[in-house]
């Protein structure tokens, strides 16, 4: 089939060897800053980009690197190189703005030619809003750019300096201002744990994640690359292979097509990335816990029905397996899936306007989004404005230069064109709740359990991964004298009760058939109970395959553990109460003052109907992007003997930090970030 450039193709500024077809970017989303003017000079040709490959990972890396202080980001070059030319602001503004084939930007007193940066910018051509002016007002909003790594990369594009006559008394150009594009973002649930605010990326705490089969809309994890677009009429354009276009309003979709429902889990490719970091090495990207996954019932129209109505002859498409359906969002994001998935009778790809029986929330794509069941959530494009049937996959950063995985040895030298884009997700599972001793009696799904459906179901802290930060999960009382001086026993009680819960999920519609649990680090195994939520009339499952997650439950008894000698607790820990809702939680630094404990490691792993199962270790699947972190999930728990309040003695059970051998140093900043995230109140917006 001959390559056809779609009608929506934009003129390439990237000097590719052949035309690249991609959706238009709405460059009006940000207002253009004002600039000063002064005499003009002739443009200088762009320098050769020697670090383009490194730039391809820039934004994902930003989210794990320390941010620069304001003084660091605003520092001027005290001694401009005499070998580089001087440029007036008027020349930069007039000759190197958004429509120029050589866009330039400034930062402080320096001038940069970013022509070669454009292919690597994950925000697409939105960066062109800064072209012809200063990056500073944008970076004050998009603070993730304030990283030493970004500054180092930017220096590779330095072509000169601003003419001294255009600089103020402080040695800087006049300040410019822009509107904050995030100012109208929706208010979020304060229970969410936020990783970044602009753009917002947040996950529910373990205590809320799988409390129900359907994740409530306010607790559904939030993954944004930019701001949430303003509401509009919601017109959808469908472009066919011959270039013909068909337009639909949301009202027309609801009126003319059969309304369908699909129960589907969406999961970010970076879910459990912090687990890979702690066990295998540093990874680039948001350090998600176990909560970059959620489940919902979606309502809308089947994509295959819409494509047929638009004129696509599904039975007559030559080389259908080599064609793709592009999805374009209104904020700039775009991605694609193979056309056979889009048109599969049993594929259940949905254009959704409803979520859990409610109107689709703005954070999750209002008024219309794609839901691609079984695939990585990056393909379920929000705020859908256009669908294009093409003979190649989407050319966006998010399709070609992100959401891919590589070998453990390929960090920094990835062959992006060789690696396929992630589509169907592998099998994974996680532990989201642990209760030990007396606290088992409070678990709602245990016989006589005391926690209601509206209450928190484990521990006191807000945690994104129980394996990452210490959290109290249990208490076992023991007889003591009135003065509390009864010695600590040498071992934990025989048959100490424990209860666990969590989720398991596999992409491609593959049903979870078994969840294995170990209470002793993998020495012995048992099987968890799979919760049959689909048989519950309150939570029916819709769709042709098993697109949703499977919740699981387990109760058993712990192995007997040796206890360390009794020693006085540090004052800060001695004040901690013994109720199931109290805990050490955030006092990570105090844990080192406790005597050495003997702990046990809880493990969960899942198997799907194709007998795919999780790898034992993250070392073998390590990739610098931190994608598809699906190894066994491990949570360490440790007993601590204490006399407690009022002389009521017993054992306190804590989760403990877990690190792979030799990787604690690499994970220190990740741990600190997760602690901060766990303590964050979310602050609504």
As annotated, the active-site residues are 121, 145, 223, 268, 403
CA distance 384 to 331: 9
Measured between alpha carbons, how far is 14 from 20 in angstroms, rounded to an integer?
Answer: 9
Q: Strand 472-477 and strand 428-437: pairing?
A: parallel
**CB-based contacts of 375: which residues, under 8 Å, 6+ apart?**
337, 341, 423, 424, 425, 507
| Rg from Cα positions in the chain | 27
Question: What does the alpha-carbon distance between residue 252 and residue 215 come to, in Å, rounded to a whole number?
Answer: 29
Three-class secondary structure of residue 155 per DSSP: helix
d(CA 457, CA 210): 10
**641: Cα within 13 Å, side-chain hemisphere:** 25
Whether the link from the prior residue into 367 is cis, omega within 30° of 0, is yes
Q: 3-state class of 129 per DSSP?
A: helix
Angle at 393 between CA 387 and CA 399, to 5 degrees: 95
**DSSP assignment of 311-338, as one string?**
T--GGG-TTGGG-EEEEEETTS-EEEEE
Whole-angstrom CA distances from 64 to 69, 282, 670 are 15, 9, 7
Nearest CA among 499, 435, 433 for reference residue 653 = 435
Bridge partner residues of 594 (DSSP) = none
Burial class (CB in 10 A: 0-12, 13-18, 19+), 417: exposed
Establish how many alpha carbons lie within 13 A of residue 400's alpha carbon, considering only the half-sphere containing its beta carbon: 18
Short-list 583, 575, 587, 579, CA closest to 460:
583
Contact 457, 632 (CB under 8 A): no
- Between 668-679 and 273-280, two packed helices, what is the crossing angle to 10 degrees? 150
SS3 for 586-623 is CCHHHHHHCCCCCCEEEEEEEEECCCCECCCCCCCCCC
CB of 133 closer than 8 Å to CB of 93: yes
């Amino acid at each position: 089939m001959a390559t056809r450039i779609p009608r929506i193709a934009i003129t390439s500024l990237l000097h590719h060897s052949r035309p690249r077809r991609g959706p238009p970017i709405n460059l009006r989303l940000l207002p253009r800053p004002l600039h000063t003017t002064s005499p003009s000079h002739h443009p200088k040709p762009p320098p050769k980009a020697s670090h383009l490959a490194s730039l391809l990972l820039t934004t994902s890396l930003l989210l794990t690197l320390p941010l620069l202080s304001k003084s660091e980001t605003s520092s001027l070059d005290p001694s401009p190189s005499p070998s580089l030319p001087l440029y007036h602001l008027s020349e930069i503004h007039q000759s190197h703005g958004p429509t120029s084939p050589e866009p330039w930007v400034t930062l402080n007193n320096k001038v940069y030619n970013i022509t070669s940066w454009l292919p690597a910018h994950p925000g697409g051509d939105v960066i062109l809003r800064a072209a012809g002016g200063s990056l500073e007002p944008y970076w004050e909003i998009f603070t993730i750019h304030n990283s030493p790594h970004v500054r180092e990369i930017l220096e590779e594009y330095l072509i000169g300096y601003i003419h001294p006559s255009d600089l103020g008394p402080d040695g800087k150009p006049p300040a410019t201002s822009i509107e904050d594009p995030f100012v109208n973002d929706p208010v979020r649930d304060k229970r969410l744990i936020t990783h970044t605010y602009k753009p917002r990326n947040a996950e529910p705490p373990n205590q809320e994640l799988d409390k129900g089969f359907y994740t409530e809309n306010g607790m559904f994890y939030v993954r944004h690359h930019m701001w949430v677009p303003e509401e509009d009429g919601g017109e959808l354009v469908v472009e066919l292979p011959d270039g013909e276009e068909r337009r639909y309003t949301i009202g027309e979709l609801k009126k003319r097509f059969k309304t369908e429902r699909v129960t589907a889990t969406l999961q970010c490719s970076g879910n459990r990335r912090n687990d890979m970091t702690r066990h295998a090495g540093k990874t680039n990207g948001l350090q998600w816990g176990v909560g970059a996954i959620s489940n919902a019932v979606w309502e809308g129209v089947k994509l295959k029905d819409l494509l047929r109505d638009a004129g696509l002859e599904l039975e007559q498409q030559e080389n259908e397996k080599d064609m793709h359906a592009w999805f374009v969002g209104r904020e700039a994001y775009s991605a694609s899936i193979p056309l056979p998935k889009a048109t599969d009778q049993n594929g259940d790809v949905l254009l959704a306007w409803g979520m859990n029986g409610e109107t689709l929330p703005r954070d999750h794509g209002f008024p219309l989004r794609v839901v691609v069941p079984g695939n990585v959530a990056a393909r379920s494009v929000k705020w859908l404005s256009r669908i294009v049937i093409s003979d190649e996959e989407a050319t966006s950063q998010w399709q070609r230069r992100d959401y891919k995985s590589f070998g453990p040895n390929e960090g920094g030298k990835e062959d992006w064109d060789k690696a396929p884009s992630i589509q169907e997700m592998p099998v994974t599972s996680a532990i989201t709740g642990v209760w030990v001793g007396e606290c088992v009696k409070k678990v709602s799904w245990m016989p006589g359990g005391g926690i209601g459906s509206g209450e928190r179901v484990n521990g006191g802290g807000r945690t994104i991964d129980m394996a990452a930060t210490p959290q109290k999960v249990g208490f076992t009382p023991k007889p003591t004298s009135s003065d509390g001086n009864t010695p600590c026993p040498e071992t934990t009680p025989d048959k100490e009760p424990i209860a666990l819960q969590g989720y398991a999920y596999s992409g491609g519609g593959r049903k979870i058939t078994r969840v294995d649990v170990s209470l002793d680090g993998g020495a012995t195994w048992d099987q968890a109970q799979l919760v049959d939520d689909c048989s519950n009339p309150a939570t029916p499952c819709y769709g042709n395959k098993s697109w949703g997650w499977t919740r699981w439950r387990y109760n058993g008894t712990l192995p007997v553990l040796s206890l360390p000698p009794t020693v006085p607790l540090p004052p800060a820990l001695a004040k901690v109460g013994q109720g199931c809702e109290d805990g050490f939680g955030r006092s990570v630094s105090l844990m080192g003052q406790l005597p050495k404990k003997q702990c046990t490691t809880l493990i969960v792993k899942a198997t799907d109907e194709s007998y795919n199962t999780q790898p034992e270790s993250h070392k073998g699947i390590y990739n610098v992007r931190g994608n598809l972190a699906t190894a066994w999930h491990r949570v360490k728990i440790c007993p601590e003997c204490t006399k407690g309040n009022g002389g009521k003695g017993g054992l306190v059970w804590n989760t403990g930090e877990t690190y792979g051998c030799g990787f604690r140093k690499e994970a220190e900043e990740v741990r600190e970030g997760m602690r901060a995230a766990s303590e964050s109140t979310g602050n609504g917006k």
